[in-house]
């Protein structure tokens, strides 16, 4: 299952940076984006005339000083979280500190016990301890160096013709150990979400966003610098001199530059109409006709997915361009791309010197100093590769049925509050309202952990004493997952075993449009989000607003395109859908007025509309429940909500997430959300002229 290894590269980069917990990483995201500025779609333009508005960007570490105290009527986030924002510094090796990270710290302490405690019995616990110890065994990894990777690199080096490359890419060697020019794997069928579908995505790009190849931004410049340095380092390890390495990198990047204009940009993937663009059902025969040069169907055969009856091609224009570029004339570019990406994918599996050098390059790109302890980095790798095993052991050790029942009760109350919201929405017609309520009634509740787990007994890792190594263990896991995927071809998705391929130990929650289900997983049931001992106000402000947020995703600009069964289908009247987007545009327009950096451009409101809608609806949902509670303390509720989103990050990371994350920056999730709510104005007597005031006619309420 090659997509796992490619995912690992991006994940390990972020883990080595100790990335920030950016709120709920929802499975169903989609938002419009504004037209690219002169700097492109993911950069920060320089303009001395603009200053931060309407509040200072407290997410940038060091922005808040002793001189920045504010009245809560002017900047609620700054007033409530002042001490945290002023005094918090980034720990070594970390790009962010926030409320989610505080929860993750609690979880990680428990996970460190799980991967080191020999008294925890069972096959899964043994696997976890073995992989953890292998990662930390620098003596063994240093002794191996690049030797385990070099046989696979040498095969790529021996490619001399396009025919050689074709044979390699479609061979077991190429599928298992090489870097693919296409992303291929099973997902839920968008038109009938009960079944698995073979989904074919585009070529992984080093700069992530295809727009960067035409208009390189400051974010792109940092990414490109890191890419060239890391690739150069690894090519040197593989025996190339500096001049040879530079030529290979130039060739690989030239291939990406030629291919990128045919691929969806980050901006396009955030657009509500992206689902229509990427839904392109084809047969295997049609796929073969569409890809006469690049051996796509041969690769699918080698992966064992050739009998797939449901096939979706996300980007037909990309496949056409790839076949245009897949020629003998471009052999050196194609070969260089495969060589560089293979090295980049497996570079962090190697010796300590190589790992530290890659880590240093990544840290510079994200403005990070120092390094996290190796024990944490090893734990993150275990969590990534043995998700199911770690989730099973964690749930058994730390989650009680009482916790599940308590959270399920809050979800059920939230659904009833959302029913009230939908029923009372004046702009909805009866026809659309009926469909919306039907979808609400069919939302599946997945809380903490599933009752049915994937059987992991067949997953085996060769122990060190039996000749095993960390490098080899990764491929043993990868082969196991590949066999699991092959067995799912043309089968119905088992929604009872909903935690497959999911880490339940993340501080996370999400909604999935393909299952019409919310997932309030074990990892978020800690800290400021949930404790059985919390007050009612704290529970509603914490896990309650998260639940309300996720429920709202069933009706945001993405979720609104899927029906009660998780199928991509239109259940709106034309008039209602137009009214829905008119309400959403009001939110976009306000976000567009925000300037998050001195000398920066306006916030891209279209990027975050889905998540911002969910934030507002989530809090509104909880306030409906609050009306039923006697002597409800609204001040305690609003303060607890604000503390969820306290956050400081490096400037470099803040610049990245503004354009590559569908969630608003945390200080905006607090202030913009709260200033829409009548209860907030009443609680603090907010008046015209206060910084947290918005005229009633301008306030935003999508739901």
- Give Cα 687 to chain centroid, integer Å: 39
Sheet with 196-201: strands ordered across: 183-188, 196-201, 311-313, 281-282
DSSP one-letter code for 688: T
CB count, 10 Å around CB of 630?
5
Highest mean pLDDT among 261-275, 283-297, 600-614: 283-297
Band of the pLDDT at 569, cuts 50, 70, 90?
very high
The residue behind tokens 């309650």 is 544
pLDDT at 25: 45
| Angle 3-9-13 from CA coordinates, rounded to 5° | 150
Instruction: Print burial letters for 566-583: b (CB count within 10 Å at least 16), e (below 16).
Output: bbbeebbeeebeebbbee
Give the max Cα distance, the chain. 77
Half-sphere exposure (Cβ direction) of 545: Cα atoms closer than 13 Å: 28
Alpha helices of 399-506 — where are they, by DSSP H? 401-424, 430-441, 470-487
Q: Any idea where the domains of the chain sit in the sequence?
A: 21-94+399-455+492-698, 180-330
CB contact at 8 A, 640 and 203: no
Closest by Cα among 145, 147, 154, 133 to 350:
145
Asked if residue 404 has pLDDT above 80, the reply is yes
Residues 319, 321: Cα–Cα separation, whole Å: 5
Band of the pLDDT at 557, cuts 50, 70, 90?
confident
Segment 336-362 shows an average pLDDT of 96
CB count, 10 Å around CB of 247?
14
Asked if residue 97 has pLDDT above 70, the reply is yes
CATH 3.40.390.10 correct for 21-94+399-455+492-698: yes
Nearest-10 crossing angle of helices 609-626, 574-591: 100
Sign of CA dihedral 405, 409, 415, 416: positive
Which CATH number fits the domain 180-330, given the four candidates 2.60.40.1180, 3.30.565.10, 1.10.10.10, 1.10.1380.10? 1.10.1380.10
Q: Rg of the chain's alpha carbons, rounded to an integer?
A: 25
Could you tell me which residues come within 8 angstroms of residue 676 by beta carbon, excluding any fewer than 6 positions away?
Answer: 616, 694, 699, 700, 701
- Give Cα 175 to chain centroid, integer Å: 25
> Which H/E stretch holds residue 604?
none
Per residue in 61-70, pLDDT (tens digit) is 999 999 998 9
Residues 298, 415: Cα–Cα separation, whole Å: 48
Asked if residue 20 has pLDDT above 70, the reply is no
Alpha helices of 171-270 — where are they, by DSSP H? 172-177, 218-237, 242-259, 266-269
Nearest-10 crossing angle of helices 99-114, 374-385: 80
Could you tell me which residues come within 8 angstroms of residue 696 by beta carbon, excluding any fewer than 6 positions away?
Answer: none
Closest by Cα among 456, 512, 556 to 193:
512
CB contact at 8 A, 236 and 242: yes
Proportion of the chain above pLDDT 90, given as a percent: 83
Residues 2, 303: Cα–Cα separation, whole Å: 9
First to last CA, the chain: 41
**Structure token digits, residue 652:** 């470099």
Asked if residue 13 has pLDDT above 60, the reply is no
Among the ranges given (16-25, 181-190, 480-489), the one the predictor scored with the smallest mean pLDDT: 16-25
Per residue in 242-289, pLDDT (tens digit) is 999 999 999 999 999 999 999 999 889 888 789 999 999 999 999 999
The residue behind tokens 């609050």 is 626
Tell me the pLDDT of the chain averaged across its residues.
91
Could you tell me which residues come within 8 angstroms of residue 672 by beta carbon, excluding any fewer than 6 positions away?
Answer: 590, 591, 594, 612, 664
Per residue in 665-691, pLDDT (tens digit) is 999 999 999 999 999 999 999 999 999
**Structure token digits, residue 118:** 């020999």
CB contact at 8 A, 701 and 676: yes
Please give the sequence-ordered ranges of beta strands (E in DSSP) within 283-417, or none if there are none: 311-313
CB contact at 8 A, 556 and 484: no
Could you tell me which residues come within 8 angstroms of residue 485 by beta carbon, excluding any fewer than 6 positions away?
Answer: 1, 185, 186, 303, 304, 305
Segment 78-88 shows an average pLDDT of 97
Asked if residue 30 has pLDDT above 50, the reply is no
Per residue in 572-594, pLDDT (tens digit) is 999 998 998 888 899 999 999 99
Asked if residue 16 has pLDDT above 50, the reply is no
Asked if residue 229 has pLDDT above 60, the reply is yes
Sign of CA dihedral 117, 120, 121, 124: negative
Asked if residue 626 has pLDDT above 50, the reply is yes
Closest by Cα among 102, 59, 95, 104 to 77:
59
**Structure token digits, residue 665:** 């920056």
Whether 21-94+399-455+492-698 shares its CATH topology with 180-330 is answered: no
- Share of the chain residues as helix, strand and coil, in percent rounded to the nearest 5: 55, 5, 40
pLDDT at 660: 83
Per residue in 647-671, pLDDT (tens digit) is 999 999 999 888 888 899 999 999 9
Residue 424 phi, psi dihedral angles, 5° rounding: -90, 0
Proportion of the chain above pLDDT 70, given as a percent: 93
The residue behind tokens 């006709």 is 289
Band of the pLDDT at 699, cuts 50, 70, 90?
very high
Residues 31, 660: Cα–Cα separation, whole Å: 12
pLDDT at 288: 97
Asked if residue 38 has pLDDT above 90, the reply is no
Asked if residue 32 has pLDDT above 80, the reply is no
Asked if residue 239 has pLDDT above 90, the reply is yes
pLDDT at 659: 81
Per residue in 340-351, pLDDT (tens digit) is 999 999 999 999
CB contact at 8 A, 132 and 118: no
Band of the pLDDT at 49, cuts 50, 70, 90?
low
Segment 28-47 shows an average pLDDT of 32
Residues 30, 270: Cα–Cα separation, whole Å: 5
Helix or strand or coil: residue 430?
helix
Band of the pLDDT at 333, cuts 50, 70, 90?
very high
Could you tell me which residues come within 8 angstroms of residue 689 by beta carbon, excluding any fewer than 6 positions away?
Answer: none
> Which H/E stretch holds residue 450?
none
The residue behind tokens 């503390």 is 643
């Amino acid at each position: 299952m090659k997509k796992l290894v490619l995912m690992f590269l991006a994940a390990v980069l972020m883990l080595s940076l100790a990335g920030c917990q950016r709120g709920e990483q929802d499975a169903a995201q989609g938002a419009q984006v504004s037209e690219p500025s002169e700097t492109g779609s993911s950069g920060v333009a320089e303009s001395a005339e603009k200053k931060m508005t309407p509040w200072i960007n407290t997410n940038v570490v060091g922005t808040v000083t002793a001189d920045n105290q504010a009245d809560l009527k002017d900047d609620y986030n700054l007033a409530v979280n002042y001490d945290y924002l002023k005094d918090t510094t980034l720990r070594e090796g970390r790009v962010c500190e926030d409320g989610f990270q505080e929860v993750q710290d609690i979880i990680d302490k428990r996970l460190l016990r799980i991967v080191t405690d020999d008294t925890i019995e069972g096959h899964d616990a043994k696997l976890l301890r073995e992989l953890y110890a292998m990662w930390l065994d620098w003596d063994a990894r240093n002794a191996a160096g690049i030797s385990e990777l070099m046989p696979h690199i040498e095969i790529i080096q021996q490619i001399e013709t396009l025919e050689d490359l074709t044979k390699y890419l479609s061979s077991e060697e190429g599928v298992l150990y090489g870097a693919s020019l296409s992303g291929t794997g099973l997902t839920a069928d968008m038109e009938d979400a009960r079944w698995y579908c073979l989904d074919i995505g585009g070529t992984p790009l080093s700069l992530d966003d295809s727009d960067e190849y035409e208009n390189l931004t400051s974010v792109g410049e940092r990414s490109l610098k890191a890419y060239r340095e890391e690739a150069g380092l690894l090519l040197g390890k593989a025996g190339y001199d500096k001049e040879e390495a530079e030529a290979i990198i130039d060739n690989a990047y030239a291939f990406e530059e030629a291919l990128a204009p045919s691929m969806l940009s980050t901006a396009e993937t955030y657009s509500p109409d992206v689902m229509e663009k990427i839904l392109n059902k084809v047969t295997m025969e049609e796929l073969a006709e569409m890809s006469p040069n690049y051996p796509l169907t041969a690769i699918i055969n080698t992966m064992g997915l050739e009998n797939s009856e449901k096939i979706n091609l996300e980007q037909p224009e990309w496949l056409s361009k790839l076949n245009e570029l897949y020629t003998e004339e471009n052999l050196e570019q194609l070969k260089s791309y495969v060589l560089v990406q293979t090295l980049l994918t497996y570079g962090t599996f190697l010796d300590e010197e190589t790992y530290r050098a890659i880590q240093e390059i990544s840290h510079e790109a994200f403005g990070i100093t120092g390094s996290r302890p190796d024990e944490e980095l090893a734990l993150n790798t275990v969590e990534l590769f043995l998700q199911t095993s770690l989730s099973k052991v964690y749930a058994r050790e730390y989650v009680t049925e009482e916790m599940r029942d308590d959270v399920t009760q809050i979800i059920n109350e939230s659904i009833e509050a959302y029913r009230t919201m939908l029923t009372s929405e004046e702009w909805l017609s009866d026809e659309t309202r009926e469909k919306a309520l039907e979808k609400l009634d069919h939302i599946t509740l997945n809380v903490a952990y599933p009752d049915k787990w994937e059987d992991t007994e067949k997953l085996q890792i060769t122990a060190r004493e039996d000749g095993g190594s960390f490098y080899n263990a990764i491929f043993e896991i990868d082969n196991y997952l590949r066999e699991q995927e092959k067995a799912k071809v043309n089968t119905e998705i088992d929604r009872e075993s909903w935690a497959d391929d999911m880490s339940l130990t993340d501080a996370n929650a999400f909604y999935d449009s393909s299952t019409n289900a919310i997932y309030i997983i074990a990892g978020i049931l800690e800290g400021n989000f949930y404790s059985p001992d919390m007050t009612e106000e704290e529970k509603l402000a914490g896990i309650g607003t998260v639940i309300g947020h996720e429920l709202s995703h069933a009706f945001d600009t993405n979720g609104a395109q899927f029906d009660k069964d998780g199928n991509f289908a239109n259940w709106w009247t034309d008039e209602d859908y137009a009214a829905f987007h008119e309400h959403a545009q009001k939110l976009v327009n306000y976000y567009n007025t925000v300037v998050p950096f001195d000398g920066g451009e306006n916030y891209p409101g279209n990027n975050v509309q889905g998540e911002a809608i969910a934030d507002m609806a989530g809090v509104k949902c909880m306030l409906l429940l609050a009306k039923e509670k006697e002597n409800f303390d609204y001040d305690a509720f609003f303060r607890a909500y604000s503390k969820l989103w306290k956050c400081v990050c490096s400037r470099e990371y803040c610049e990245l997430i503004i354009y590559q994350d569908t969630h608003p920056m945390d200080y905006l999730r607090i202030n913009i959300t709260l200033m829409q709510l009548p209860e907030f104005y009443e609680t603090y007597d907010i008046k015209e002229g206060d910084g947290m005031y918005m005229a009633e006619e301008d306030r935003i309420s999508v739901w």
